[in-house]
């Protein structure tokens, strides 16, 4: 089997529009109607919301957890966008960033979360976030265990990394699968 993977010369926001195009093509090809995406400031969520209008695609938007970076008012994600997404029957879920190095990494006396996050970053920041938000969405009941989804993440703001994955809870990490890489930046 041959399938196309798109590599971006530089990471970041500049790739977002192309990521949306690639993700929608792959969703149609694989008959996947749920997209899980990271969106720190709402930029990526807003563009995806516009792109899926009128399509049979549901978004599960995962912003940063509250107070992870000690932001004023707890988060950068706009409240009005949360309302708009929910009114259009999409999901916005604020959960615990399990693999984030910005939170207390002491888990039963180990730094296993930080270690796992660092191992995943070998392929890029995006794969770490894709794995993390898939588990967050599954843990939060936004997607089902074993559900095939497309997962989108990025480097800082915007999107530059997308995969096809099978969802799993954080307590069932070994069931999570990354089936395909749709796109990623060259490191």
Cα 119 versus chain centre, distance: 17
Domain for residue 101, yes or no? Answer: yes
Rounded CA separation 91/144 (Å): 13
The answer to the question of residue 109 being in a domain is yes
Residue 24 β-bridge partners: none
Given the structure tokens 């990394």, which residue do they identify? 161
Does 1 map to a domain?
A: no
Give the domain extent around 131. Answer: 6-185
Residue among 182, 158, 184 at smallest CA distance from 8: 184
Q: Is residue 116 part of a domain?
A: yes
CATH code assigned at 81: 3.40.1380.20
Q: Which phi and psi angles does 86 have, rounded to 5°?
A: -65, -35
Which of 134, 130, 135, 128 lies closest to 114, judged by CA?
128
Domain count, the chain: 1
Q: What is the pLDDT along the chain (187 residues), one digit of tens a residue?
A: 888 999 999 999 999 999 999 999 999 999 999 999 999 889 999 999 999 999 999 999 999 766 555 555 566 788 999 999 999 999 999 887 777 655 555 555 556 667 777 777 788 888 999 999 999 999 999 999 999 999 999 988 899 999 999 999 999 989 999 999 999 999 7
With respect to residue 59, please indicate whether it lies within any of the assigned structural domains: yes
Gyration radius of the chain over CA positions: 15
């Amino acid at each position: 089997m041959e399938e196309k993977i798109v590599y971006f010369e530089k990471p970041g926001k500049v790739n977002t529009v192309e990521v949306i195009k690639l993700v929608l093509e792959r969703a149609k090809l694989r008959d996947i109607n749920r997209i899980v995406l990271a969106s720190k400031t709402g930029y990526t969520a807003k563009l995806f919301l516009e792109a899926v209008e009128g399509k049979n695609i549901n978004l599960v938007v995962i912003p940063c957890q509250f107070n992870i970076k000690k932001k004023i008012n707890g988060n950068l994600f706009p409240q009005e966008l949360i309302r708009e997404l929910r009114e259009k029957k999409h999901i916005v879920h604020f959960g615990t960033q399990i693999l984030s190095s910005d939170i207390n990494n002491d888990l039963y006396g180990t730094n296993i979360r930080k270690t796992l996050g660092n191992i995943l970053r070998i392929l890029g920041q995006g794969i770490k976030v894709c794995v993390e938000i898939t588990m967050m969405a599954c843990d939060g009941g936004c997607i089902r265990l074993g559900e095939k989804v497309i997962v989108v993440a990025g480097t800082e703001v915007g999107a530059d990394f997308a995969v096809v994955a099978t969802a799993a809870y954080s307590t069932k990490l070994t069931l999570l699968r990354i089936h395909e890489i749709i796109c990623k930046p060259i490191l």
